[in-house]
Structure 1
């Protein structure tokens, strides 16, 4: 395709504003309109002016034209098709600005184009990396505490076989973080490298723990006498267990902190034990008698400070 200098056709500078381009177009369109012009080449000049205007007043077309010259349409088509199965053939005739595939690939994909030439025809062979794939992986909270390896199965490959991968779960990984598996994404084109597989981590719901950031929370049921008199209770942790001392006169909802026992990290989280006082059911004679004894012997009014302001 012969190169046409659209800026020269409209008589404007290469840094002309959109207003300058419109003004030049309207002036030349009136001059060469076939219905009014007496120029012998009015019709062809009018078409030429309109073609130049159609390109330069469109921001995307103008950008492609400024970068690729005569091959701006081929570049746009290649971009729209992602360069899949795209071949360019040109003759590099005099005055024609060559289409630089390397520039296109570097700016759009970070890839390269290899060109083989023969005579007046050339064919481009593309090398660019494959796309990254994204998926999710659910792990147990305990996996984050100790680090482990999990096996995942992906969709079938081109041969109809399911892909199985061993994934290393790093210690201290958090929900929302990604584990990158290099080269496990979509294949590259030509000699381009494969993309990567990015696994977004989430935690399986746990029957005992809840997670807030790197802090972990456990609700611990305790008997009224354990809360009132104090006790030592074995508490399960995501990694091992601990004998926790419950202070005397602990109220329902009291929170006990185990510093640094949360999810590991450069700054590890904390582990919190929240006390939940569980009352025995008064469903036997002995239980009822015990409650009556409390009622008669304790000077206790649960509503003594009810509604008072501090």
Structure 2
């Protein structure tokens, strides 16, 4: 069979870093992908590029390949050393079949590849994701919560069953909606002695009576009186750290947004609290209140619909 120089296939030196190998692979894969390339040999080149990257992207596989020595040239007749196909039991995750790899590849990594094709190699369990609802205060201060989950496990007969497990989960301060907490090795069990996958707890916030989260920012709708909005005022505003004073500029309208820097969820930088004003009018439930509104209508002529031309 012919020796394949995987370094030459990717256009990198034998001393290339893993990052250089990755960049070279991405560039060539885009160039020769059969769905986009107009090169007559695009499919063959694409397979060769993938085979080379499958070996060189992993330090252990690359080291095994490099033990063949640097004296070989691409295209030369190659005879693998005795037992080469039974070398380290590597994992190949490209999803390819034996037809996607060359005879040269199989001669070096034969046992690992054949065991994958037969479905008997050690397989890592899949990662799992479960939603975890927490209070906004937990994300602000950090917390430890005890949770019980029904998780899969492999029974004595090889069948998949479920078992309840209890965890003390540390919720880091500053975690945001959609953020994930990793529980290593608590996912789907591995097969044939393979390691278990990881369990990810995806954070979602319970509805809060005051605040709406937006990333690390939090939003608050603040009711104000017409005179506070018209004349300006300093009012008490709730935050996750307790009430603070907020200055409302004169002439404010409903929908105006004011920012309290650093009053959101912690982080680098921390989030802010966005306060949106909502002007509420007092109810006219007494004759005195109705008379006051009549005087306002007379003394403060104002048409909020003037711009509608109606």
- Which residue of the other structure, out of 100, 123, 147, is the alignment partner of 2:142? 147
Separation in structure 1 between the aligned mates of residue 241 and residue 186 of structure 2, nearest angstrom: 32
Instruction: Kindly report which structure 2 residues correspond to 1:239-250, keeping only aligned pairs within 5 A, or say none.
Output: 239-250=241-252
Q: Structure 2: how far apart are the matches of 1:223 and 1:208?
A: 19
Structure 1 residue 189 displacement after superposition: 4.8
Q: Is the 8 A contact 2:98 2:113 kept in 1?
A: no
- Aligned match for 2:213, one of 203, 206, 211: 211
Partners of 1:164 and 1:304 in 2: CA distance? 60
Quick one: distance in 2 between partners of 1:192 and 1:293? 82
- Runs of 4 or more consecutive aligned structure 1 residues displaced over 6 Å after TM superposition: 71-74
The question of whether the paired residues in 1 share the 8 Å contact of 2:97 and 2:117 is answered with no
Is the contact between residue 232 and residue 249 of structure 2 (CA under 8 Å) also seen in structure 1? yes
- Contact 2:98/2:117 (<8 A) preserved: no
Q: TM-score, normalised by structure 1?
A: 0.57
CA drift of 1:259 comes to: 1.2
Distance 1:299 1:134 in 2: 60
Displacement after TM superposition at 1:199 (Å): 1.5
Residue 223 of structure 2 corresponds to: 221
Q: How many residues align?
A: 212
Describe the superposition over 1:191-235 as per-residue Cα deviations: whole angstroms up to 9, x where unpaired.
644322111222222232222232211101112122223333221
Structure 1 residue 283, shift from structure 2 partner: 2.7
Match among 282, 295, 300 for residue 280 of structure 1? 282
d(CA) in 2 for partners of 1:235, 1:60: 63
**1:185 and 1:224 mapped to 2: Cα distance?**
56
Superposition deviation, residue 75 in structure 1: 5.3
- 1:266 equivalent among 265, 268, 289: 268
The offset of 1:253, in angstroms, is 1.7
Q: Is 2:131 the counterpart of 1:136? A: yes
Instruction: From the superposition, tell whether residues 281 and 62 of structure 1 become closer, same or farther in structure 2 (CA, over 3 Å).
Output: same
Alignment match, 1:54: none
- CA spacing shift, 1:287–1:18, aligned 2, 3 Å: closer
Separation in structure 2 between the aligned mates of residue 18 and residue 241 of structure 1, nearest angstrom: 65
Query: Hey, what does 1:23 align to over in structure 2?
Result: none
Query: Which segments of 5 or more consecutive residues in structure 2 lack a partner in the other structure?
Result: 3-40, 44-95, 154-160
Judging changes above 3 Å, is the alpha-carbon distance between structure 1 residues 185 and 60 closer, same or farther for their aligned structure 2 residues? Answer: closer
TM-score by structure 2 length? 0.57
Q: How far apart are residue 156 of structure 1 and its match?
A: 5.3
Root-mean-square deviation over aligned CA pairs: 3.5
What SS does the aligned partner of 1:287 have?
Answer: helix
Q: How does 1:49-128 map to 2 (within 5 A)?
A: 60-63=97-100, 66=103, 67-68=105-106, 78-79=115-116, 83=119, 86=120, 127-128=122-123
Q: How far apart are residue 18 of structure 1 and its match?
A: 12
